[in-house]
Protein backbone atom coordinates (compact mmCIF):
# COMPACT_ATOMS: atom_id res chain seq x y z
CA UNK A 1 0.00 0.00 0.00
CA UNK A 2 1.11 3.54 -0.75
CA UNK A 3 0.66 6.88 0.96
CA UNK A 4 0.89 9.80 -1.44
CA UNK A 5 2.10 13.25 -0.42
CA UNK A 6 1.40 15.27 -3.59
CA UNK A 7 -2.02 15.58 -5.14
CA UNK A 8 -0.84 16.55 -8.64
CA UNK A 9 2.04 14.09 -8.92
CA UNK A 10 0.20 11.15 -7.35
CA UNK A 11 -2.95 11.59 -9.44
CA UNK A 12 -0.73 11.89 -12.54
CA UNK A 13 0.97 8.59 -11.63
CA UNK A 14 -2.42 6.89 -11.21
CA UNK A 15 -3.71 8.28 -14.52
CA UNK A 16 -0.53 7.17 -16.31
CA UNK A 17 -0.74 3.69 -14.79
CA UNK A 18 2.56 3.70 -12.92
CA UNK A 19 0.58 3.37 -9.66
CA UNK A 20 -2.53 1.23 -9.34
CA UNK A 21 -5.47 2.91 -7.61
CA UNK A 22 -5.96 -0.26 -5.54
CA UNK A 23 -2.48 0.26 -4.05
CA UNK A 24 -3.31 3.73 -2.70
CA UNK A 25 -4.07 3.87 1.01
CA UNK A 26 -4.44 7.67 1.14
CA UNK A 27 -3.20 10.90 -0.42
CA UNK A 28 -2.22 13.57 2.09
CA UNK A 29 -2.15 16.68 -0.05
CA UNK A 30 -1.54 20.43 0.09
CA UNK A 31 -4.85 21.15 -1.67
CA UNK A 32 -8.21 22.37 -0.37
CA UNK A 33 -10.95 21.64 -2.89
CA UNK A 34 -13.82 19.30 -3.73
CA UNK A 35 -13.29 17.57 -7.12
CA UNK A 36 -17.06 17.26 -7.55
CA UNK A 37 -17.47 21.05 -7.51
CA UNK A 38 -17.24 22.28 -11.14
CA UNK A 39 -15.87 25.72 -10.27
CA UNK A 40 -13.23 24.38 -7.90
CA UNK A 41 -12.30 21.64 -10.36
CA UNK A 42 -11.85 24.16 -13.19
CA UNK A 43 -9.25 26.00 -11.09
CA UNK A 44 -7.41 22.79 -10.25
CA UNK A 45 -7.40 21.58 -13.88
CA UNK A 46 -6.11 24.93 -15.19
CA UNK A 47 -3.57 25.31 -12.40
CA UNK A 48 -1.93 21.94 -12.91
CA UNK A 49 -2.05 22.16 -16.71
CA UNK A 50 -0.74 25.71 -17.03
CA UNK A 51 0.90 26.51 -13.71
CA UNK A 52 0.62 29.86 -12.03
CA UNK A 53 -0.16 29.31 -8.38
CA UNK A 54 0.78 25.64 -8.80
CA UNK A 55 3.46 23.73 -10.65
CA UNK A 56 2.28 22.62 -14.07
CA UNK A 57 2.53 18.92 -13.24
CA UNK A 58 -0.08 18.04 -15.89
CA UNK A 59 1.36 20.20 -18.69
CA UNK A 60 1.92 17.15 -20.91
CA UNK A 61 -1.86 16.81 -21.17
CA UNK A 62 -4.16 18.85 -23.40
CA UNK A 63 -6.07 21.40 -21.33
CA UNK A 64 -8.81 21.48 -23.98
CA UNK A 65 -9.21 17.70 -24.14
CA UNK A 66 -12.33 16.57 -22.30
CA UNK A 67 -10.92 13.03 -22.36
CA UNK A 68 -7.71 14.09 -20.57
CA UNK A 69 -9.64 16.18 -18.07
CA UNK A 70 -12.06 13.32 -17.35
CA UNK A 71 -9.17 10.95 -16.56
CA UNK A 72 -7.81 13.25 -13.88
CA UNK A 73 -11.18 14.25 -12.50
CA UNK A 74 -12.50 10.68 -12.26
CA UNK A 75 -9.40 9.58 -10.31
CA UNK A 76 -9.81 12.62 -8.04
CA UNK A 77 -13.49 11.93 -7.43
CA UNK A 78 -12.83 8.26 -6.68
CA UNK A 79 -10.17 9.22 -4.14
CA UNK A 80 -12.57 11.76 -2.59
CA UNK A 81 -15.57 9.42 -2.44
CA UNK A 82 -13.57 6.54 -0.97
CA UNK A 83 -12.08 8.74 1.77
CA UNK A 84 -8.56 8.54 0.41
CA UNK A 85 -8.06 12.27 -0.27
CA UNK A 86 -6.98 13.94 2.96
CA UNK A 87 -6.43 17.69 2.69
CA UNK A 88 -4.87 19.14 5.87
CA UNK A 89 -5.46 22.71 4.60
CA UNK A 90 -9.15 22.12 5.23
CA UNK A 91 -8.18 21.97 8.92
CA UNK A 92 -5.85 24.98 9.00
CA UNK A 93 -2.45 23.39 8.42
CA UNK A 94 -0.13 24.17 5.54
CA UNK A 95 2.21 21.24 4.80
CA UNK A 96 5.37 21.85 2.79
CA UNK A 97 6.04 20.40 -0.65
CA UNK A 98 8.33 17.40 -0.46
CA UNK A 99 10.58 15.95 -3.12
CA UNK A 100 9.49 12.40 -2.33
CA UNK A 101 5.80 11.88 -2.79
CA UNK A 102 5.06 8.15 -2.45
CA UNK A 103 5.64 6.25 0.79
CA UNK A 104 5.40 2.47 1.00
CA UNK A 105 3.62 1.00 4.00
CA UNK A 106 4.84 -2.58 3.64
CA UNK A 107 8.24 -3.81 4.75
CA UNK A 108 9.81 -7.08 3.57
CA UNK A 109 10.17 -9.82 6.17
CA UNK A 110 13.96 -9.81 5.76
CA UNK A 111 14.06 -6.15 6.77
CA UNK A 112 11.81 -6.76 9.76
CA UNK A 113 13.79 -9.75 11.00
CA UNK A 114 17.20 -8.05 10.67
CA UNK A 115 16.13 -4.87 12.50
CA UNK A 116 14.31 -5.43 15.80
CA UNK A 117 13.40 -1.74 16.23
CA UNK A 118 11.79 -1.65 12.77
CA UNK A 119 9.89 -4.87 13.53
CA UNK A 120 8.63 -3.40 16.80
CA UNK A 121 7.47 -0.21 15.04
CA UNK A 122 5.77 -2.24 12.29
CA UNK A 123 3.99 -4.42 14.84
CA UNK A 124 2.72 -1.31 16.64
CA UNK A 125 1.53 0.19 13.34
CA UNK A 126 -0.38 -2.99 12.56
CA UNK A 127 -2.00 -2.91 16.00
CA UNK A 128 -3.10 0.74 15.53
CA UNK A 129 -4.29 0.02 11.99
CA UNK A 130 -6.34 -2.88 13.32
CA UNK A 131 -8.13 -0.51 15.70
CA UNK A 132 -9.16 1.74 12.82
CA UNK A 133 -10.87 1.15 9.51
CA UNK A 134 -7.55 0.40 7.78
CA UNK A 135 -7.58 -3.05 6.24
CA UNK A 136 -4.20 -4.77 6.19
CA UNK A 137 -3.38 -6.92 3.20
CA UNK A 138 -1.07 -9.50 4.75
CA UNK A 139 -0.52 -11.12 1.34
CA UNK A 140 0.70 -7.88 -0.34
CA UNK A 141 4.09 -8.22 -2.08
**In this predicted structure, what is the pLDDT of residue 84?**
92
**In this predicted structure, what is the pLDDT of residue 129?**
66
Q: Is residue 141 part of a domain?
A: yes
Q: Is residue 52 part of a domain?
A: yes
Distance CA 109, CA 129 (A): 18
Upper half-sphere CA count for residue 98 (Cβ side, 13 Å): 14
32 with 64, same domain: the answer is yes
Give the DSSP letter of residue 95: P
**In this predicted structure, what is the pLDDT of residue 85?**
94
Radius of gyration of the CA atoms of the chain, in A = 17
Work out how many domains the chain is built from and give that number.
2
Nearest to 8 by CA among 67, 87, 106, 115: 87
7 with 71, same domain: the answer is yes
Inform me whether the pLDDT recorded for 109 exceeds 90. no
**In this predicted structure, what is the pLDDT of residue 50?**
93
pLDDT in tens, 9-53: 999 999 999 999 988 989 999 999 999 999 999 999 999 999 877
Could you tell me the strand order of the sheet in which 2-4 lies?
Answer: 85-86, 24-28, 2-4, 102-104
pLDDT in tens, 63-74: 999 999 999 999
Question: How large is the average pLDDT for residues 118-127?
Answer: 74
User: In which band, very low, low, confident or very high, does the pLDDT at 123 lie, cut at 50, 70 and 90?
Assistant: confident
pLDDT in tens, 82-95: 999 999 888 888 77
Q: Is residue 49 part of a domain?
A: yes
Domain of residue 129 covers: 108-141
8 with 70, same domain: the answer is yes
- Indicate whether this model's pTM tops 0.85: no
Lowest mean pLDDT among 49-53, 59-63, 111-115, 136-140: 136-140
Inform me whether the pLDDT recorded for 125 exceeds 90. no
Q: Is residue 19 part of a domain?
A: yes
Amino acid sequence: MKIGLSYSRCVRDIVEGSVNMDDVLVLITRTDFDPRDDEQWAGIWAGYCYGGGSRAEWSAYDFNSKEDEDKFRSVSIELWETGRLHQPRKFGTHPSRRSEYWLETVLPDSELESRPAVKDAWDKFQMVAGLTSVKLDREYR
